[in-house]
Amino acid sequence: MSEPARNRGVLTELRRILPYTRRYPKLVGWGLVFITLSNVCSTTIPHVVGETIDTLKVSAFASSEIAWLIAQILLLTIGSGFFMFATRRTIILMSRFIEEDLRNDFVKAIKDQSQRFFHDRSTGSLLAHFSNDIGAVREFIGPAIMYTANTITTFAFALTWMMNINIPLTFAILIPVPLVATLTYKLGKLIHANYKRVQEQYEHITTHAQETASGVRVVRAYVRGDHEAERFDELSADYYRKNMRLARVQSLMMPGMTVLFNLSYVIVISFGGYLVMQSSMSVGELTQFFIYLNQLLWPIAAIGWVTSMIQRGAASMARLGAIFEAPSDIVDADNAQRPDEIRGTIEFDNVSLAYDGTTPVLSNISVTVPAGSSLGIVGTVGSGKSSLIGLLPRLYDVTSGAVRIDGIDVRNISIVTLRGSIAVVPQESFLFSETIRENIRFGRPTASDEEVEQAAQRAQLHADVMSLPQAYDTVVGERGVTLSGGQKQRTSLARAIASDPSILVLDDSLSAIDADTEERILRGLDDVMKGRTTILISHRISTVKKCTNIIVLQNGTIAEQGSHNELLELGGIYADMYERQQLEQQLTS
């Protein structure tokens, strides 16, 4: 990438922040006013000091005059400090507000994405965006903006005072400025590139840590703890090396600029001293130049720090922008319908699905599920069972064909209405770090305690819950770690029942439950399934055999279809699965 293009890229990323700063115009405005007033006070102090020194040279001076000059210095010092405090209160406060806005927008941006979005991004990567990148943008908005404004106003006022004293000397001390600008420009590019590498490595570390923590049982079961620790050490070492490269570049910035800017002292001493000896400048005026140089030293040095934060903020905003601007292919149609009632008639009409747009996962699926009836879906791993069901609540959209509910294409139904009428119990149960009661009523927060317990009873969970010390108020821990696999699945099932959906989908959600418990659950579901469209996905024939209609998926297509008895008579895939499972049951009984 060419240098102008890279610079345009940095400016483009920083422009993304403008809509956020425009939300707080009063804080921005007052912040700039306060920092201007602070620097008006601070840059006036050297002028008063110079006058004081020149006054002291006069043999006959009034003590009251000196006292008044000292009082002015004191008042200006207090004023500068007060307004700087007010500046920090407004600008830093604004940066915290914007940080909150960014976090909220980040969550909004990912919650409406389809499953395809999450296929391409790890949880660790999203967490890195949420923590480090938003923090880097906040640091730019707060300190970087504050110190940039401070540098500009300090330079403007100080140079005005200096030029009022002696224009040639003022221009002479600015000789090192082009060298400082060149150093800032060169090192800024290196900081941007190195910070981007650091953030990418941080993603890898976060992802590995998150996966290790989530899969700690698997790690222990396969005795891979030492291996995972070594892998984390390697990632951490790489992160350290990249951070050290960034630190080496950053460490050159401030010393380099300080050395270059200190050349101005040499100029002031030599050229300014010459002017004093020629009586073209007073000692007090020369003293003012020294004080102004001291005042400019920190803003000049801060340029390096600010440049680093600008580059970090730009790199982080680019990464956040990729999330915020990622197009969601699952959105409401302009004329989305909101039916008052979903009866539950489902129609898959010649449905095909390809996640990448080319490789089909489902091909030409056609099946109708009348309202209040049940559909069983069986098939081998990878046959497309879960993908087919994912089309109902629009976790994905069909590549071709249509999915209709009550005769309406799901793409023309409001997403809130559509998903509110469907409850899916996935194979991999997910529970929140809340009480069992709150987990069950998650899908319908208004569910009463009685309804929660009824749902638990139908899911054959009530007895287990009552055996816990806190019963329904027991906190299940992260991802339900305190419960067994079967208890987590039954909690998920109870959550679906409590939500009282028009369409109930069980996606192999009884896989972690023994046959006896499964039978009791299915009996308990009889009342739930009455008058409710139900789809049961399972590798167990015993789960689906009572369904009104059963389809057998193979390689993304319907290989067989019919009732349990019809499929047995067919003597195909379904019959083979049934006979094999019957034999396994006999051997284990």
Reported as a single tens digit per residue, the pLDDT across 287-328 is 888 888 778 777 766 666 677 677 777 777 877 777 777 777
- Number of domains forming the structure of the chain: 2
DSSP track, 209-238 = HHHHHHTHHHHHHTT-HHHHHHHHHHHHHH
Q: Which domain holds residue 23?
A: 9-324
Residue ending a domain, choose from 265, 291, 324: 324
Mean pLDDT of 327-337: 78
Residue ending a domain, choose from 293, 324, 355: 324
Residue 339 forms part of a structural domain:
no
SS (H, E, C) 445-484: CCCCHHHHHHHHHHCCCHHHHHCCCCHHHCECCHHHCCCC
306 and 350 inside one domain: no
Helix or strand (DSSP H, E) at 375:
strand 374-379
Q: What's the token pair of residue 306?
A: 């600010």
Q: Cβ atoms within 10 A of the Cβ of 472, count?
A: 20
302 and 386 inside one domain: no
Residue 217 forms part of a structural domain:
yes
**What percentage of residues in the chain have a pLDDT greater than 90?**
2
Q: Is 131 helix (H, G, I), strand (E, B) or coil?
A: helix
Predicted local confidence at residue 82, as pLDDT: 92
Average model confidence (pLDDT) across the chain = 79
Q: Is 90 exceeded by the pLDDT of residue 37?
A: yes
Mean pLDDT of 569-583: 83
123 and 272 inside one domain: yes
53 and 19 inside one domain: yes
173 and 64 inside one domain: yes
Q: What's the token pair of residue 387?
A: 């993908």
Partner residues linked to 552 by β-bridges: 378, 560
Residue 179 forms part of a structural domain:
yes
Q: What's the token pair of residue 446?
A: 């208004």
Residue 89's CATH number: 1.20.1560.10
311 and 387 inside one domain: no
Residue ending a domain, choose from 269, 289, 324: 324
Residue 534's CATH number: 3.40.50.300
- Looking at residue 525, its amino acid is L
Question: Which residue carries 């130049």 as its tokens?
Answer: 289
Residue 333 forms part of a structural domain:
no
383 and 312 inside one domain: no
Predicted local confidence at residue 34, as pLDDT: 92
Reported as a single tens digit per residue, the pLDDT across 438-468 is 888 888 888 888 888 888 888 778 888 888 8
14 and 51 inside one domain: yes
Cβ atoms of 291 and 49 closer than 8 Å: yes
Residue 382 forms part of a structural domain:
yes
- DSSP conformational letter for 442: G
20 and 97 inside one domain: yes
Mean pLDDT of 173-197: 75
Q: Is 186 helix (H, G, I), strand (E, B) or coil?
A: helix
Predicted local confidence at residue 213, as pLDDT: 66
379: left (phi > 0), else alpha (psi -120 to 50), else beta? left
Residue 4 forms part of a structural domain:
no
Sheet holding 422-425, edge to edge: 422-425, 503-507, 533-537, 374-379, 549-554, 557-562
The whole model's pTM is what? Answer: 0.61
Q: Is 70 exceeded by the pLDDT of residue 194?
A: yes
The highest-confidence range among 74-88, 210-224, 354-368, by mean pLDDT, is 74-88
57 and 173 inside one domain: yes
More confident residue, 532 or 79: 79
Please state which of the ranges 136-140, 273-277, 514-518 shows the lowest mean pLDDT: 514-518
Q: Is 277 helix (H, G, I), strand (E, B) or coil?
A: helix
292 and 414 inside one domain: no
Q: In the structure, what pLDDT confidence band is assigned to residue 589 with cuts at 50, 70 and 90?
A: low
409 and 466 inside one domain: yes
Q: In the structure, what pLDDT confidence band is assigned to residue 511 with cuts at 50, 70 and 90?
A: low
Cα distance between residue 429 and residue 347, in whole Å:
27
Cβ atoms of 288 and 49 closer than 8 Å: yes
- DSSP conformational letter for 508: S
Residue 330 forms part of a structural domain:
no
SS (H, E, C) 305-371: HHHHHHHHHHHHHHHHHHHHCCCCCCCCCCCCECCCCCCCCEEEEEEEECCCCCCCCEEEEEEEECC
Residue 531 forms part of a structural domain:
yes
